[in-house]
Chain A
């Protein structure tokens, strides 16, 4: 009598499909086929899980007719997409980092079938890291090992507090490892003190209304005492004082675009060489010597690097130097290095690309076999030179974040988008096929930044008629094969 029993289920150990940390301890509360509560996740995680059925979703396949996107059946959209791809000379297939490995695998088959260039979002983030790893090699490990053993954590050109919010808490400084204690209490005290200091300063400013802003503190000529404490230490090296830098034991501010010089100076110091100059990248050599000494004295060090290093001046050569630095450090102690991957499955896309073609990104199938040469076969460069004839974009929004000239060429030619959202790219597309959210409405596999594969769960059903990326791509692939066979028969 007026009482409706609410069907509520709790799903535990869900993997979060947002960033490369792939936190797999999320608890979701599902009510009537909708996620209503997210536990353990960060703000980005919560927002993604809660908004899976927001108003920005595309629910019906669309095709551009007379300049307007109109609703069509899935069969028609798939057929149109297949026609575009089969007829194109030099099509590009881009995205892949925010979908499952299974979908990427079908995408690679499709790229081979249509003789296109297939690339993932590594091209605009950690592509340089991959190039350097191929040049130098990498000594890495899993995040679990770092959690339990690392006593020196360095973040270089990355701001995990904002970009990978639970990274510090789950894997590094704030995590409770078997052999390393969590350092969160110390940081809490530090943050409280810093907040109090800011409050006092602002109160003083208000009292002495016309008082000039306080003079910036002079750099100290020695390392802070926190660097000599027992246990875990956190160093952040960046061009600006980020939120992560504020909680670090030591923050080293490097002049913009001078990371290469700083890394090389560290390498020389670790090899006991003397440096002719007094200052490198705005940091006195005395400081560098002390930090280099700390790196050598640690038991297990880890260097995480982000896009601040891969995309600043020097690009892949910055990573060259970082990888070589870690190699040099391993002559004296145990040190590992890891890129902070952005998209939740960009490492997976690289892995699938590699086991299918031999190359991790920017693979060109135009000659019938895979070729790889970033700069020549990378999607951004192909677009900037205006060489492609059609594009398929899966789970990415290149129009919003590619260089303008590249985006202009992308939208000038036939464009197919497979995406759950009406993204900027989808708005410019000729064919839009809605897909289910991988990790929420479709299951699959994703690789964490340390190349550990984790299962993505299907927790709710997708909207009616909406298929996962993998299924849509399979349908396009079979349609392309039909068309190719027909073309062969006609040619014969």
Chain B
């Protein structure tokens, strides 16, 4: 198991694509210390910014675990493109955490910046804090969002969570900003608390479940029915009743938007259309 401790409070953005179990695998501590990392516009070695400490573990699975302790909120692209292993972070993390990851697990005990799990294809990201905008969303201009895997956020999420999502599950146990599930094609987004609005804008498929207050439903969604409960994952159902809206009409599509009836009395006027 490799432990990383930041040596100072970082001032400039740090691009640390090398902090990845795939790269650390089969490397000695000395090799890891020599890995290249960018601080602002200067290239440095990992040892110049982090104290690297290797600890022996009995468990074979824990051999490939990377643990980071400290504030790494300026450090970007941790675990990008990882395919297996585990990263555990005790502290805040910067942008692009687990970008394009294909497998393995990332657990964060702190807050995370934007583009977490951007374009991920597999694996799990668990965040025990808040997360920034564009959770699981693609890079600018791309229409290929999250294509698999699972993201669990126990705090709040920013705007455009799960934009252009194609597959996988995003569960947010706090609040979320605007445009959750923007232009999503498939997959599931569950928001336990409130949602700022415009959920599911331009969606063409998939499922968004809002368990709290939703400011307003876009005019381009039509009410379909009231459902007793909704399935989130295998063996996981949320009890309702939920209003089921279909949309987005502008894309001639039938994506599903479930909104908890109890928390949204302002949507009761839709009932006359049922």
Docked complex: A392-428 residues within 8 A CB-CB of B: none
What residues of B have a CB within 8 angstroms of the CB of A260 in the complex? 198, 201
Q: B13 at the A/B interface (Cβ < 8 Å)?
A: yes
Q: Which of B139, B201, B270 contacts A264 (CB 8 A)?
A: B201
Smallest beta-carbon distance A253→chain B, Å: 17
Closest residue of B by beta carbon distance from A313:
B178
Q: Mark interface residues in B127-146 (1 if CB within 8 Å of A CB, else 0).
A: 00000011000011101000
Say whether A41 faces chain B, with CB atoms less than 8 Å apart: no
Using known A-B contacts A276-B270, A387-B12, determine if residue A89 contacts B40 with beta carbons closer than 8 Å: yes
CB distance from B252 to the nearest CB of A (A): 7
Chain B residues closer than 8 Å to A265, beta-carbon distance = 219-220
Contact assessment for A387 and B222 in the assembled complex, using a CB-CB cutoff below 8 Å: no
Binding-face segment, A150-158, A207-215, A231-239, A369-377: A369-377
Taken residue by residue from 191 to 217, chain B's Cβ proximity to chain A (1 for < 8 Å, 0 otherwise) reads as 000000010011000000000000010
Complex Cα distance A265/B221, Å?
10
Q: Which residues of chain A come closer than 8 Å to B33, judged between CB atoms?
A: none
State whether A324 touches B250 (Cβ < 8 A): yes
Q: How far is the CA of A313 from the CA of B196 in the complex (A)?
A: 11
Cβ distance A76 to chain B, nearest Cβ, rounded Å: 26
Q: Taking A89-B41, A264-B219 as contacts, is the C-beta distance between A314 and B249 under 8 angstroms?
A: no
Does A441 count as interface, using CB distance less than 8 angstroms? no
Which B residues touch A218, using CB under 8 A? none
A131–B141 Cα gap in the complex (Å)?
7
A89 to B221, CA, bound (A): 49
Q: Which of B41, B74, B76 has the largest number of chain A CB atoms within 10 A? A: B41
Chain B 7-30: CB-based contact to A (< 8 A → 1; otherwise 0) = 000011101000000000000000
Please tell me which one of the listed residues B41, B95, B218, B248 contacts residue A365 in the complex, with CB atoms under 8 A apart.
B41
Least Cβ–Cβ distance between B20 and chain A, in angstroms: 17
Decide yes or no whether A119 CB sits under 8 A from chain B: no
Interface residues of B in 35-75 (CB under 8 A from A): 38-42, 74
Give the residue name and chain of the A residue nearest to B182 (CB).
Answer: A317
Interface assignment of B223: CB less than 8 Å from any CB of chain A:
yes
Q: Check: B258 CB closer than 8 A to any chain A CB.
A: no
* Given A264-B201, A264-B219, A366-B38, CB of A376 within 8 Å of CB of B114: yes
Interface string of B163-201 (1 = CB under 8 A from A): 000000000000000110010000000000000001001
Residues of A contacting B139 in the complex (Cβ-Cβ under 8 angstroms)? 373
Q: Is the CB of B38 within 8 A of A367?
A: yes
Q: Which of B207-254 contact A (CB under 8 A)?
A: 216, 218-223, 248-250, 252
Is A20 an interface residue, CB under 8 A from the partner?
Answer: no
Most buried by A among B95, B134, B218, B219: B219
Asked if B220 and A376 make an inter-chain contact with CB atoms under 8 angstroms apart, the answer reads no
Q: With the chains together, A324 CA to B220 CA distance in Å?
A: 14
Are A89 and B39 within 8 A (Cβ)? yes
Pick the contact of B220: A268, A374, A386 (CB < 8 A). Answer: A268
> Is the Cβ of A90 less than 8 Å from the Cβ of B13?
yes
* Interface pair A264/B141, CB less than 8 Å apart: no
Inter-chain CA distance A275–B252, complex, in Å, is 13
Known interface pairs A317-B182, A317-B201; A134-B41 also in contact (CB < 8 Å): no
From A317, which residue of chain B is reached at the shortest CB distance? B179
| Chain B 113-129 interface 0/1 with A at a Cβ cutoff of 8 Å (1 = within) | 01100000000000000
Is there an interface contact between B250 and A267, defined as CB atoms closer than 8 Å? Answer: yes
Residues of chain A from 292 to 332 with CB closer than 8 A to chain B in the complex: 313-314, 317, 320, 324, 328
Q: Mark A256-275, 1 if CB is under 8 A from B, else 0.
A: 00001100110110010111
Q: Are B12 and A89 in contact (CB under 8 A)?
A: yes
Q: Is A116 an interface residue (CB 8 A)?
A: yes
Asked if A160 is an interface residue, CB under 8 A from chain B, the answer is no
Contact assessment for A387 and B13 in the assembled complex, using a CB-CB cutoff below 8 Å: yes
> Is A280 in the interface zone, CB < 8 Å from B?
yes
A390 vs chain B, min Cβ distance (A):
11
Residue pairs across A and B with Cβ atoms less than 8 A apart, 5 shown, are A131-B141, A313-B178, A314-B178, A374-B140, A376-B114
Q: Which residues of A contact B (CB under 8 A)?
A: 89-90, 114-116, 131, 134-135, 260-261, 264-265, 267-268, 271, 273-277, 280, 313-314, 317, 320, 324, 328, 365-368, 372-376, 385-387, 389
The 9 closest A-B pairs by CB, nearest first: A115-B41, A90-B40, A89-B40, A134-B141, A366-B41, A267-B250, A273-B249, A268-B249, A268-B220
